Amino acid sequence: MSTLVSTALVDQVRAAVASVDDPEYPDVSIADLGLVESIDVEAGPDGPVAVVGLIPTFSGCPALDMIATDVERAVTALTDVHECDVRWLPGPVWSTDRLTGTARATLADDYTVVLRRKDGGLRCPVCGSDDVDVQSQAGPTRCRAVAWCAACRNPVEVMR
């Protein structure tokens, strides 16, 4: 069925999904956070149906329902599909590797939230120093740990 649906419509849906920001990070799109796994448009009895497959950063994240509602609203408001069906997929498992450069830059520059480097090291998003120590694995959200930069004396957070 989906072969009958134009790729233009799929692109419309993709753009609408990407317009949704994470509720806890205004200005960071869920697409840039790597939550969007699949987008399909199928023919339905009343018109095209978008099926959006998302993966959560952490299971038990309290924002899941809100994100699904925001995606449904954006897709039905901004595209020509009749209906949007959001599904939380059991896999693949989310990791920080899924973040785009845009998300990394906004998180670091605006939120002073940083990711570990491939070698496991941390670079302070405020001053660039390596003198950053994780103080607690439990930060304000499930996806972040709390660290302290001894060089610029700022508490910063680490995506985990």
Partner 1 sequence: MHTLATAPATGRTWIDLDDFQSFIDAGGMVEPGDDMPGEYRDEVFRFIEFHANSELMGGLTERDWIPHAPGLRLKQIFLAKTQDEIGHAHLLYMVAADMGVKTRTEMLEDLFAGRSRFHNVFHYQAVTWADQIAIAYLVDAAAFASQRAVFAECTYGPYKRVLKRIVAEEGFHMRHGEEMLLRLATGTDTQRSMFQEALDRWWWPAVQLFGPDSDPDDPLLRWKIKSQRNEDLRAAYVQKYVPLLHGYGFTIPDPELHQDDDGTWHAGPIDWEPLKATMRMGGPDSKRRIDTAARNWADTAWVREALDRRGAGT
Q: Which two tokens mark 139? A: 């930060």
Backbone angles phi, psi at 101, to 5 degrees: -60, -35
Q: Does 35 bind partner 1 (CB under 8 A)?
A: no
Among 62, 87, 102, 131, binds partner 1 (CB under 8 A): 62
State the nearest-atom distance from the C-beta of 157 to partner 1, in Å: 7
Which one, 28 or 41, has the nearer CB to partner 1?
Answer: 28
- Round to whole Å and give the CA distance between 129 and 43: 53
Burial 123-159 (b: 16+ CB within 10 A, else e): bbbbeeeeebebeeeebebebbbebbbeeeeeebbbb
Q: Which of residues 130-159 bind partner 1 (CB under 8 A)?
A: 135-136, 138-142, 144, 146, 148, 152-157
Q: Does 61 bind partner 1 (CB under 8 A)?
A: yes
Question: Rule CB under 8 A: which residues touch partner 1?
Answer: 23-26, 60-63, 65-66, 108-113, 125-128, 135-136, 138-142, 144, 146, 148, 152-157
